[in-house]
């Protein structure tokens, strides 16, 4: 069976999962099933098949498992959102169509990845401007103490989601050009390999950018995500573990200093250390409710639609917003805490399955990086995969209290158009790298000289 046929075949059980999930929710709510679940399943399958057709004609040699895994995550997200609020699921389905269009435009018009290299500084500038937009007066929006959103008339989005792709493109291009200088000019001092001082600037700049994000937009999650992706690309480009250790030390030191200076970050750390403490900062109740909800799920979960998310009766007379913004026992169940809803209703096994899907996507992404045709493609795939995996880790880790809670979205699962569009672009770039790597080549072709010595053994 060809790769594309395997991809198409894998989409069928995903659509059946959507149908079964919607049916389960309707039965639990004692509503008439009728043909509505088949309609939702067919709608989801139509979107997936449309994307598949684009991949079949534009990227015939791309990884056959990457997109079905993404569709599986989207299916879990849609079912969970439908369980929380039907209108959220309908809006998310519409946003998926927008994401599919952007995905198609990316793979149709971006025929050569080297175009991204040529415009790397413009792309980096665009990424920085996007990061600054939430602090601009008149359009910036503050959410839970962090400046994450932008409201321009009827349009609202989170610029950091798009910015992450821009920053990774720049880092991959820059380190592809400078990796040999970083390796050859390195010196060993007390058993630690240090990069040449004159080329240590990029590391300091990216570290400074991460610290700037902590202070200026108060977004610990995005700063951790960006800096983690940078260290992953740096390690792959140079094969120097000491560079990564130095970077982690710099980030830990900077975060510790900033935690003592920025009240919002200090509160997040205090809540993480002991959310049940007396006099805990505002927001501790979010974590405690999340932990209670996950504990209720046990191993196998309470079942779709069975967990208690909404308070009965008049819950908040002074609140003018509909559920889930008001009246929800678990705060933000459709965004920050959607993983807690999944754990509560599908149990530890179901939640672990979601994490396994992310692990499989990361494995396919890193495989594309290993087989990439040139240095830039390899580093780009590494950075994109790392930033996606780190984003999933950051939000899941915050919900289960492994790390302080941050405001990033769970990719392809949480409600939000910015996340859907940005991550569809990310997957499109990974599929382009995979297609170029798997494409049959004439005999005598090889990989870029010196690439294996650059850390891709």
Looking at residue 319, its pLDDT comes to 58
Tokens 């959607």 map to which residue? Answer: 338
Q: What angle do the packed helices 220-238 and 159-184 form, to 10 degrees?
A: 30
Looking at residue 362, its pLDDT comes to 96
Looking at residue 241, its pLDDT comes to 81
Tokens 């990989």 map to which residue? Answer: 447
> Are residues 286 and 405 in contact, defined by beta-carbon separation less than 8 angstroms?
yes
Low-confidence residues of the chain: pLDDT under 50:
315-317, 445-457
> Are residues 40 and 22 in contact, defined by beta-carbon separation less than 8 angstroms?
yes
Looking at residue 449, its pLDDT comes to 40
Strand order in the sheet with 146-152: 140-143, 146-152, 155-157
> Are residues 78 and 92 in contact, defined by beta-carbon separation less than 8 angstroms?
yes
DSSP 329-349: SSSSTTTTTHHHHHHHHHHHH
> Are residues 303 and 256 in contact, defined by beta-carbon separation less than 8 angstroms?
no
Looking at residue 150, its pLDDT comes to 82
Q: What angle do the packed helices 120-132 and 159-184 form, to 10 degrees?
A: 130
d(Cα 43, Cα 117) in Å, to the nearest integer? 37
The alpha carbon of 191 is separated from its chain's Cα centroid by a whole number of angstroms, namely: 36
d(Cα 106, Cα 157) in Å, to the nearest integer? 20
List CB contacts of 361: < 8 A, sequence separation 6 or more.
Answer: 66, 69, 70, 73, 385, 388, 389
> Are residues 57 and 8 in contact, defined by beta-carbon separation less than 8 angstroms?
no
Looking at residue 451, its pLDDT comes to 45
d(Cα 132, Cα 153) in Å, to the nearest integer? 18
pTM of the model: 0.89
Please report the beta strands in 124-247, taking only residues with DSSP state E, as ranges in sequence order. 140-143, 146-152, 155-157, 187-189, 192-194
Tokens 């983690």 map to which residue? Answer: 228
Looking at residue 246, its pLDDT comes to 80
CA nearest neighbour of 286 among 357, 364, 338, 243: 338
Looking at residue 456, its pLDDT comes to 40
CA distances from 93 to 34, 40, 48, 268 (A): 20, 9, 11, 33
d(Cα 199, Cα 219) in Å, to the nearest integer? 28
**What are the structure tokens assigned to 240, written together?**
């120097």
CA nearest neighbour of 96 among 47, 63, 139, 137: 47
CA distances from 104 to 2, 47, 396 (A): 22, 12, 29
């Amino acid at each position: 069976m060809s790769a594309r046929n395997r991809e198409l075949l894998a989409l069928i059980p995903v659509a059946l999962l959507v149908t079964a999930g919607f049916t389960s929710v309707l039965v639990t709510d004692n509503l008439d099933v009728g043909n509505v679940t088949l309609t939702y399943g067919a709608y989801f399958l139509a979107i997936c098949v449309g994307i598949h057709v684009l991949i079949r004609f534009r990227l015939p040699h791309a990884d056959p498992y990457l997109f079905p895994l993404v569709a599986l995550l989207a299916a879990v997200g849609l079912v969970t959102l439908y369980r929380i609020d039907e209108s959220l699921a309908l809006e998310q389905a519409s946003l998926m169509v927008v994401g599919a269009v952007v995905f198609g435009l990316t793979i149709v018009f971006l025929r050569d990845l080297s175009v991204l290299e040529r415009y790397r500084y413009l792309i980096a500038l665009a990424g920085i401007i996007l990061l600054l937009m939430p602090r601009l007066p008149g359009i910036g929006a503050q959410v839970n103490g962090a400046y994450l959103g932008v409201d321009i008339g009827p349009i609202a989005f989170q610029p950091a989601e798009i910015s992450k792709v821009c920053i990774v493109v720049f880092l991959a291009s820059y380190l592809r050009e400078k990796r040999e200088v970083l390796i050859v000019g390195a010196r060993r001092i007390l058993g630690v390999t240090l990069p040449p001082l004159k080329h240590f600037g990029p590391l300091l700049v990216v570290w400074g950018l991460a610290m700037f994000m902590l202070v200026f937009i108060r977004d610990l999650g995005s700063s951790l995500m960006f800096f983690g992706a940078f260290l992953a690309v740096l390690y792959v480009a140079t094969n120097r573990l000491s560079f990564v250790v130095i970077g982690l030390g710099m980030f830990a030191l900077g975060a510790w200093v900033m935690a003592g200076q920025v009240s919002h970050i200090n509160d997040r750390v205090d809540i993480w250390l002991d959310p049940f403490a007396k006099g805990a900062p505002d927001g501790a109740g979010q974590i405690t409710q999340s932990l209670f909800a996950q504990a209720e799920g046990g191993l196998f979960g309470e079942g779709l639609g069975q967990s208690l998310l909404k308070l009965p009766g008049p819950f908040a007379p002074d609140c003018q917003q509909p559920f889930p913004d008001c009246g929800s026992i678990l705060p933000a169940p459709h965004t920050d805490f959607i993983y807690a809803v999944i754990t509560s209703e599908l149990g530890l096994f179901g939640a672990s399955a979601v994490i396994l899907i992310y692990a499989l996507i990361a494995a396919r992404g890193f495989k594309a990086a290993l087989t990439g045709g040139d240095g830039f493609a390899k580093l780009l795939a590494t950075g994109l995969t790392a930033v996606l995996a780190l984003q999933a880790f950051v939000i899941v880790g915050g919900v289960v209290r492994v790390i302080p809670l941050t405001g990033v979205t769970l990719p392809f699962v949480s409600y939000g158009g910015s996340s859907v569009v940005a991550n569809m672009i990310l997957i499109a770039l990974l599929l382009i790298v995979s297609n170029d790597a798997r494409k049959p080549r004439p005999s005598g072709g090889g990989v870029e000289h010196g690439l294996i010595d650059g850390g891709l053994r």
